[in-house]
Amino acid sequence: MTRQDFEEVVKIIGDDPKYRHFIDRIKKDFDDSEHKGIPVAMHAYFIKEGKESIGFCILSLSPLKMRRWEKTFIEEDWKTQNFQIDISSFELMYLYIKPEFRRKGKATQLFNKVIKRSKVLGIKSIYAYVSDTDNAALEFYRKSGAKIIHDFSDETEGISAAFMVWKLE
């Protein structure tokens, strides 16, 4: 992922108040890695309508985070001792389609491209954690073939949340 990709993400989100925090978080990842002189381990994919970019998907390679998830699942007894996450897996960090283009199959189109490209890169699985006050993302992920590893949703709190995986083999 390049600075130019980041600028494109900023443009797509625009002044959407609910998802402005995506920009701050991606910028932090960028700045952290630039200070450490490490290349940004993130891959950005875009979808266009005509000449306009209307959505993006960002995957990242974060072995330490994957190890933390694995440890938590075992410590919390959500999974047995032999539960393992392949640390060379990617994590789906962000997926976003501009509001006026939603429910037209755009995220499906974009995510299919991401899956195809990940297979070419030899990625065996993609993990994701999602937590939101509406169920759009979780419903989208379910429909796109994600296997739910643990569902954290809380109806009384109005929270839709889960940790999941797409197996690409």
Ligand X SMILES: CC(C)(COP(=O)(O)OP(=O)(O)OC[C@H]1O[C@@H](n2cnc3c(N)ncnc32)[C@H](O)[C@@H]1OP(=O)(O)O)[C@@H](O)C(=O)NCCC(=O)NCCS
Site string for ligand X, 18-57 (x = CB under 6 A): -x--------------------------------------
Helices 20-36, 3-13: crossing angle, 10 deg rounding: 170
Q: Beta strands 90-97 and 52-60: pairing type?
A: antiparallel
Site string for ligand X, 102-121 (x = CB under 6 A): xxxxxxx-------------
Closest CA to 90 of 114, 55, 54: 114
Q: Report the nearest approach of ligand X to the CB of residue 83 (Å).
A: 24
3-class DSSP state of 132: strand
Among 32, 139, 151, 154, binds ligand X (CB under 6 A): 139
Binding region for ligand X (CB under 6 A) out of 27-35, 65-73, 97-105, 145-153: 97-105
Looking at the Cβ atoms of 19 and 83, the one nearer to ligand X is 19
Length of the chain: 169
Q: Beta strands 147-151 and 125-132: pairing type?
A: unpaired
Residue partners of 76: CB distance under 8 A and separation at least 6: none
Binding region for ligand X (CB under 6 A) out of 31-39, 115-123, 139-147, 161-169: 139-147
Q: Report the nearest approach of ligand X to the CB of residue 35 (Å).
A: 25
Q: Report the nearest approach of ligand X to the CB of residue 74 (Å).
A: 26
Residue partners of 36: CB distance under 8 A and separation at least 6: none
Integer Cα distance of 12 and 5 in angstroms: 11
Chain Cα centroid distance, residue 57: 7
Q: Report the nearest approach of ligand X to the CB of residue 148 (Å).
A: 15
Site of interaction with ligand X (CB under 6 A): 19, 94-97, 102-108, 130, 132, 135-137, 139-140, 143
